[in-house]
């Protein structure tokens, strides 16, 4: 009763102002509720301590690179080997650096054959094999330790779930070269080990999830560096496709995609990313690959200057 009397005693201007503030606050609460309901759909992995891996454990505290920058290691893995303790391999390792102030996205692809020290086996092995021994947490630790970069956490999807994610957003548009087309159609002299379901042609093609995965895995036409570029092309194509989706389709796609994604990112960090998501719609990736290609056809247990690559990464992320 008293509140009603106080409300009536206010001037029309004050009542209008308070009503607007109340509506804005209610809208904010509804947005936050919506975001947290989406976050709840994600598959959160429990931290699994790995030797010399203190830096890989994510926390709610701001990281040294600042609260407006979020660095996420995106891991594309094959499936575990049934009946063994082998977790499979990580064939795609990409660091996405999101600037929550500008909406810029930077992507760094790490060549799978880089020689990495693995604490749990006391020796060096390929970067792709770190996942087999130490899982996603070990991959984060390896990148942080080797290249002196701060990583907030990881997002991990396997081959099957990646294809489902692409299908959930309605496929992607990708430009194919004649060599890529020959390989993907398994036509002529190239046996690629991958084949698209649809017959593809040179130029722009709309690919479903299965065919996008085959494109991203292709390396018979060039080398691992070419495959890294194709994987970054796919990330850009997915950003472009999401931009085209109306809100109701985007919401439907999110409901399908989020349960397929494994992560150890703090929920507060994911919340901040969701709140700034409109900034990233239509973003163009700034890209680089590690190591820098020096004319070699391929790398196996890559031999290069780690100091130089660490400096390149720092300059790129600055």
C-alpha 268/C-alpha 248 separation (Å) is: 25
Q: Tell me the two tokens of residue 273.
A: 């990313």
Contact 201, 176 (CB under 8 A): yes
Q: Is residue 276 part of a domain?
A: yes
Contact 283, 240 (CB under 8 A): no
Q: What is the pLDDT of residue 25?
A: 53
Q: What is the pLDDT of residue 233?
A: 95
Q: For the whole model, what pTM was predicted?
A: 0.81
β pairing state of 153-158 and 69-77: parallel
Which CATH number do you get for residue 138? 3.40.630.190
Q: Is residue 126 part of a domain?
A: yes
Q: Is residue 22 part of a domain?
A: no
Which residue pairs, CB below 8 angstroms and at least 24 apart, start in 292-296?
Answer: 293/225
Q: Is residue 263 part of a domain?
A: yes
Residues in the chain: 318
Count how many domains the chain has.
1
Q: Is residue 307 part of a domain?
A: yes
Contact 64, 131 (CB under 8 A): no
Per-residue pLDDT of the chain (318 residues; tens, 9 = 90+): 565 556 556 566 665 665 566 665 555 565 665 566 677 777 888 765 444 443 333 333 444 455 789 999 999 998 665 555 667 789 899 999 999 999 999 999 999 889 888 998 898 999 999 999 999 999 999 999 999 999 999 999 988 899 999 999 999 999 999 999 999 998 766 667 788 999 999 999 999 999 999 999 998 888 888 888 999 999 999 999 998 988 888 889 989 999 999 999 999 999 899 888 888 887 888 999 998 876 444 445 566 788 999 999 999 998
Angle at 151 between CA 299 and CA 263, to 5 degrees: 95
Q: Is residue 37 part of a domain?
A: no
Q: Is residue 59 part of a domain?
A: yes
Q: Tell me the two tokens of residue 56.
A: 């890989």
Q: What is the residue range of 73's domain?
A: 43-169+245-317
Q: Is residue 17 part of a domain?
A: no
């Amino acid at each position: 009763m008293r509140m009603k009397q106080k409300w009536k005693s206010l001037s029309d201007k004050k009542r209008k102002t308070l009503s607007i503030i109340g509506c804005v606050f209610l809208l904010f609460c509804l947005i936050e509720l919506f975001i947290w309901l989406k976050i709840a759909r994600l598959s959160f992995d429990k931290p699994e301590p790995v030797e010399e891996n203190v830096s890989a454990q994510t926390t709610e505290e701001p990281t040294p690179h600042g609260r407006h920058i979020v660095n996420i290691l995106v891991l594309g893995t094959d499936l575990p080997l049934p009946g063994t303790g082998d977790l499979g391999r990580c064939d795609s390792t990409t660091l996405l650096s999101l600037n929550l102030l500008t909406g810029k996205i930077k992507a760094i692809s790490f060549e799978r054959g880089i020689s990495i020290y693995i604490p749990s086996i006391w020796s060096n092995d390929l970067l792709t094999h770190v996942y087999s021994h130490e899982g996603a947490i070990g991959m984060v630790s390896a990148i942080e330790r080797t290249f002196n970069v701060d990583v907030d956490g990881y997002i991990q999807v396997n081959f099957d779930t990646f294809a489902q994610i692409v299908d959930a957003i309605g496929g992607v548009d990708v430009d194919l070269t004649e060599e890529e087309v020959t390989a993907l159609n398994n036509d002529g002299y190239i046996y690629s080990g991958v084949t698209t379901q649809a017959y593809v042609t040179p130029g722009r093609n709309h690919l479903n999830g299965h065919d996008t995965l085959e494109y991203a895995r292709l390396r018979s036409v060039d080398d691992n560096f070419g495959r890294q570029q194709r994987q970054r092309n796919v990330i850009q194509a997915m950003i472009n496709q999401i931009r085209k989706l109306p809100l109701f389709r985007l919401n439907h796609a999110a409901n399908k995609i989020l349960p397929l994604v494994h992560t150890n990112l703090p929920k507060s960090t994911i919340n901040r990313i969701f709140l700034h998501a409109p900034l990233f719609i239509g973003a163009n990736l700034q890209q680089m690959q590690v190591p820098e290609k020096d004319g070699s056809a391929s790398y196996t247990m890559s031999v290069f200057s780690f100091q130089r690559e660490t400096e390149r990464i720092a300059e790129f992320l600055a």
